[in-house]
Structures are given as structure tokens and as C-alpha cells.
Amino acid sequence: MSYDKKDLERRMEGAISSLQTELQGLRTGRASVNLLDSVQVAAYGSNMPLNQVGSVSVMDARMIAVNIWDKGLVGATDKAIRESGLGLNPVVDGQTLRIPIPPLNEERRVELTKVAGKYAESARVAVRNVRRDGMDGLKKMEKDGEISEDDLRSLSDEVQKLTDSYVGKVDEALKNKEAEIMQV
């Protein structure tokens, strides 16, 4: 096992990009094709992203249409959207789901900021898990005599600084998203 700062950075960056993708799905009060990116549909024995079972398009500022390719997945897709926590209620029209985007009231805005907070917390956990892996690797290297105790201390500090900077990026992304959601 060797210490690879680039690998730790890459993995932490992955947590940030995953968070940004999830936050894009929290489009506020306006129709956007990214709104449904986080929706997983139970199809063919596994969970699949919505965009792999149908095409998503924006009809106007307050309406999204999802054209489901397989007639048998219309019900599962409808259920997945309703249970997504996005507060959307699709209208089934044959193999097309029309999804009206409700205007955001204060209660819904607060609810969306809580969802954004959950996304941010799972990103923080992912970053901390990468830190733990890095620290475990360093401790093993020290135990195996590959690095000295002083090296362990300085490299551990480096890993902690990296972790703190990525947790800061998560907090910044959350702060920006909350401001966007609460904007009337």
C-alpha cells in the first residue's frame, strides 16, 4: 500500500461532482430536464436512471414530459417520480408522463433546502470515508516500516487539510443552492 495524494483528491472530487449533479436535480419552481436526474426507476430487475427508460423534455416553464420507451415501465416510472422526494405528481397519458412543476411556496422551499442538506451531508460522509482510507493506508505504511512516525504525522496533516478543503467545497455548494432555492 502506498500513499497517493492524487488518488485521494480524485475520489474527493468525485464526491463533489456527485453532489453537484444531485443539487442540479433540485431546480426550483422551473421546469428543467435535470430536475429528474436523481430519479431511479425499478426496471428489468434493477434500479435505472430515468433517462435510460425514457426521454425527458421540457414543454414549457412549468411542464416536463417524459416519453417512456417500454409500455410496461410507465407505472414504475410514475411511482419512482412520486416517491423521489421532489414533490412532483405526474399525469399519465399513454406512454407519456406529463409532470406539472408546482410554484414553490415557502413550505416547499424549506423542504427542498432540507433535501439539499441531506445531499450535502452524504457528500461530506463520502469525503470523510476517503480520508479514513487515506489515514488507514498511512498507518499501515508506518506499521510496515515504509514511513517514519514523523512522516505519518505530516502526511496525516496533509490528508486532513485536503479533507477540510473538500468539506468546505461541499458547504459552499450547499450555501449557494440554498440561496437559489430561497430566492423568490
Helix, strand, coil percentages for the chain (3-state, nearest 5): 60, 15, 25
- Residues 44 and 11 grouped into a single domain: no
- Residues 51 and 119 grouped into a single domain: no
CA torsion 74-80-85-88 (nearest 10°) is 0
Specify whether the CB–CB gap between 102 and 28 falls below 8 A: no
- Residues 47 and 13 grouped into a single domain: no
- Residues 70 and 114 grouped into a single domain: no
Q: For residue 77, what pLDDT band results from cuts at 50, 70 and 90?
A: very high
- Residues 137 and 177 grouped into a single domain: yes
Last residue of a domain, one of 61, 83, 100: 100
Last residue of a domain, one of 84, 100, 116: 100
- Residues 45 and 94 grouped into a single domain: yes
- Residues 150 and 92 grouped into a single domain: no
Residue 76 lies in domain: 29-100
- Residues 95 and 109 grouped into a single domain: no
Query: Which contacts qualify for 55-58: CB closer than 8 Å, 24 or more apart?
Result: 57/33, 58/31, 58/32, 58/33
pLDDT at 83 over 80: yes
pLDDT at 130 over 90: yes
Q: For residue 107, what pLDDT band results from cuts at 50, 70 and 90?
A: confident
Query: Of the candidates 149, 59, 156, 46, which has an alpha carbon nearest to the alpha carbon of residue 99?
Result: 59
Contacts of residue 31, defined as CB under 8 A and 6 or more positions apart, other chains included, come to 58, 59, 60, 61, 62, 63, 64, 101
- Residue 92 DSSP class: E
- Residues 18 and 109 grouped into a single domain: yes
pLDDT in tens, 2-54: 678 899 999 999 999 999 888 887 766 667 777 888 889 998 889 999 889 99
Last residue of a domain, one of 61, 79, 100: 100
CATH number, domain of 137, equals 1.10.132.20
CATH number, domain of 42, equals 3.30.1360.40
Instruction: Name the domain count of the chain.
Output: 2
What pLDDT sits at residue 6?
Answer: 92
- Residues 73 and 126 grouped into a single domain: no
